[in-house]
Amino acid sequence: MKGGGRRLGGIIAILFKAFFLFIAGILAFALLVTVLALMFAGVGVFPLKNFFLEGFGQNFLAWATLLLFLGVPVVAFITWLIRRIMGVKSGSRYLGFTFGGLWFIGLICGGILVYSIATNFDARAREKQEFSIQQPTTGKLIIKVPDTKVKVYGRWFRMDGIVSMNDDSLFLNNVRVRIVKSQDSAYHISAFKYSSGKDEGTALNNIKEISYGINQLDSTIWLDRGFSLKKGTRFRNQGVQVTIQVPVGKRILIERNVSRRLNWFSLGSNHDWDWEEEWNNDYESWSSDVEYIMTPGGLERVNKEEYRDSDRTYDVDDKSKTIEQYKKSKEELQKEYERKQKEAEELKKELEKPIDTTRYRYKKETVQNSNVTESKSEQHLPIEASRLLMMQMVY
């Protein structure tokens, strides 16, 4: 019996071990396929690889990081799994040290790669471009963004925006719209083109490659959906900021396709010191599909009853009325509470008074007799008074 129990326990242990190794093998195979896909199909998985990496050094560091930092742990896990299946035991630790050393080298390569890419964003440049527009006769300017025929590969690069690519160029819709108060009685539109680089010269050269424009049809301004960079040009925070100056008393409406098709993103610091220095940080916030009018105090909604923010709608007047009603009801409740509290205090005083027991003693009912006597005396009063009057007249 003991021998049979041991054999049964051994069979169960072998089954559990086989199941564990089977699951581990599936996991190892999946990791291996993933790493192989990243290594041998880099162009398919990362089609815009050259959009960030520059030169042989950065490409070498990227591949070294991929192979050593990600690939070595997978190979080590598969090796351990095979040795466990075959039952091979090694008394040497050189294999583990080798895998650990290669992984550490991959970690160092990754750190150097990140530092190397970061140095390409050290300098920052800006260039201003003025657009000539016709003043709308309606006193209202409408801002729109047209659709584009650019082929989009995906949204793998998603930082509040989309990067896409066609056959011969890279396309960025890294554009932001800001509204300020005009210094005169006319509308003005300008664009600030930004770019970073390892030095100022490189940043300025990147700006020169940015081509951005607008089109006007009556009172409607069509902004370009983005700008193109020549194929092979690296991303260095290139972006365009469109500034619209609205005169006091004039109106502006920005349609929803502007916020949907223009997407601002930036790597690193996103603080526009130059822009804030020129406009004293006096830009206006706005919402899509809302008509505004510029006042001396800033932008104000033309239709104040309806306040639309993204997909939510609020009624400002109803909201203010609700607040007033709440305040009034709160005051009434406070007054009612004070009145009830005063009544409770009066009742408490009445309860605390001592009881007068003399008021409840038994007395004979003599009220009727006294009333009768009093009425009789009242009947004799007029007779006596007339007698006295007659006596005075005689004498």
Alpha carbons 9 and 27: distance in angstroms, whole number: 27
Same domain, 160 and 293: yes
Do both 212 and 127 map to the same domain?
A: yes
**390 within a domain of the structure (yes/no):** no
pLDDT digits (tens, 9 = 90+) for 70-91: 778 878 877 777 777 776 666 5
Structural domain includes residue 275: yes
Report how far residue 291's alpha carbon sits from residue 305's, in angstroms, rounded to the nearest whole number.
12
| Separation between Cα atoms, residue 97 and residue 99, nearest integer Å | 6
Domain C-terminal end among 86, 119, 152:
119
- The C-alpha atoms of residue 306 and residue 311 are separated, in whole angstroms, by 13
Q: Which of 311, 336, 371 is the last residue of a domain?
A: 311
The answer to whether position 324 is within a domain reads no
Look at the chain and report how many structural domains it folds into: 2
Question: Do residues 263 and 143 both lie within one domain?
Answer: yes
Inter-axis angle of helices 94-119 and 55-64, to 10 degrees?
140
What DSSP string describes 51-92?
A: GT--HHHHHHHHHHIIIIIIIHHHHHHHHHHHHHHHT-----
Give the per-residue pLDDT at 222.
92
Q: Which domain does 17 fall in, by range?
A: 2-119
Domain assignment present for 156: yes
Strand partners for 293: 251, 300
Per-residue pLDDT, 331: 74
Length of the chain: 395
Give the model's pLDDT for residue 368: 47
DSSP letter for 282, please. -
Please choose, from the candidates 143, 67, 131, the residue with its C-alpha nearest in 3D space to the C-alpha of residue 99.
Answer: 67
CA 93 to chain centre: 52
Distance CA 131, CA 90 (A): 74
Residue 93, CB-side half-sphere exposure with 13 Å CA sphere: 3
For residue 94, the model assigns a pLDDT of 78
pLDDT value of position 221: 92
Regarding whether 195 and 57 lie in a shared domain, the answer is no
d(CA 49, CA 67): 16
Yes or no: say if 151 and 165 are a contact pair by the CB < 8 Å rule.
yes
**What pLDDT shows up at residue 187?**
93
Residue 16 shares a structural domain with residue 80: yes
Are residues 114 and 120 in contact, defined by beta-carbon separation less than 8 angstroms?
Answer: no
Domain match, 244 and 145 both: yes
What residue ranges of the chain have pLDDT lower than 70?
1-6, 17-18, 21, 24-25, 28-29, 31-32, 34-48, 87-92, 148-169, 268-284, 305-328, 354-395
Q: What is the pLDDT of residue 153?
A: 44
Please check whether residues 153 and 6 belong to one and the same domain.
Answer: no
Task: Report the C-alpha gap between 225 and 76 in whole angstroms.
Answer: 48
Report pLDDT for 198.
87
111 and 217 both lie in a single domain: no
In a domain, 9, yes or no: yes
Last residue of a domain, one of 249, 282, 311: 311
Tell whether 94 and 179 lie within a shared domain: no
Q: Is residue 364 a part of any domain in this protein?
A: no
pLDDT of residue 45: 46
Gap between the Cα atoms of 75 and 79, Å rounded = 6
**Pair (169, 193) in one structural domain:** yes
Q: Are 38 and 130 in a shared domain?
A: no
Same domain, 282 and 141: yes
Is residue 230 within 8 A of residue 209, CB to CB? The reply is yes
How does strand 227-230 pair with strand 298-301? unpaired
